[in-house]
Amino acid sequence: MRLFIDQGNSRCKFWWLDADNVVVRELTVPDPQMLSQQSPTAVAQVAISSVAQPAQREALQRALGQHCPAAAVHWARVDCRRMPTRYRQPERLGVDRWLAALACRETGVATVVVDAGTALTVDAVSVAGEHLGGYILPGLALQRKALADHTAQVQFPESDWSGPDWGMDTAAAVGHGSLLAMVSLIAAAQQRLGAEQGVDVELVLTGGDAGILQTWLPEAQHRPHLLLRGLQRYLAAEESDEVGLRAKD
């Protein structure tokens, strides 16, 4: 049994994999104690993507030690041997973004990877499999909250994300504007990468708002468990390295 964890500041997702069986659990508030309720006793490998605060990471580490004491734990980090990046400071690149890009790294394919969550991240992967950089915007809900919190007159009960056409009331004006900004940015990134690479560009969507965006980006692939695929690739590479080191010994 293998356990894969995506730990953020606002949620925590767990995947348990046993052969072809996948069990998924997601919490809006990261709670490592969920392991006591769900984790099978035979977890042998754990791979973690974490962008959480140090205290949350430490709590997860303690929970793993208590509930998966025999497991080998791998904390994923940006590793330019696995996939190079043009980030000036690779250590400042969010590991979740890097893992999502790693999951889409295919020989000869240029890809724009979009994670539509609390923030909207847009990352470019070249034909050669290099992370070229990207863009970050507030997500749909965060844009709505920013306007509601900081404007006295722009008040609305909820956002209308039904389309990018002209908004006929405040909720639609805010929601449609946010949606159009995101769709336009993604389309511009796809066009730019295609011009740079001289090839057609694949577009991959993940994250909680991916379904909303896909309505207006019908050519995109929706891959809800993209980070899981990135963690699987990362763990496979780590295990391969370990096997190589043992062979040398």
Residues 210, 100 within the same domain: yes
Catalytic residue among 6, 96, 115, 160: 96
- Same domain as 147, residue 102: yes
Same domain assignment for residues 26 and 130: no
Domains: count for the chain: 2
Residues 170 and 199 in one domain: yes
pTM to 2 decimals? 0.89
Structural domain that includes position 222:
90-230
Compute mean pLDDT per 10 residues along the chain, 249 residues long, and list them: 86 79 64 64 88 90 87 95 96 96 94 95 97 96 82 70 86 89 96 97 95 94 94 92 58
160 and 220 together in one domain: yes
CATH of the domain at 53: 3.30.420.40
Q: Are residues 63 and 171 in the same domain?
A: no
Q: Is residue 238 part of a domain?
A: no
Give the pLDDT score at 66. 85
In this prediction, residue 163 carries a pLDDT of 83
97 and 213 within one domain: yes
96 is catalytic: yes
- In terms of Cα–Cα distance, which of 167, 32, 59 is closest to 13? 32
What's 28's DSSP letter? S
Closest to 200 measured CA to CA, from 98, 135, 112: 112
Q: Are residues 114 and 182 in the same domain?
A: yes
Q: Is residue 126 one of the residues assigned to a domain? A: yes
Distances, alpha carbon 17 to alpha carbons 2, 22, 57, 232, in Å: 5, 5, 22, 10
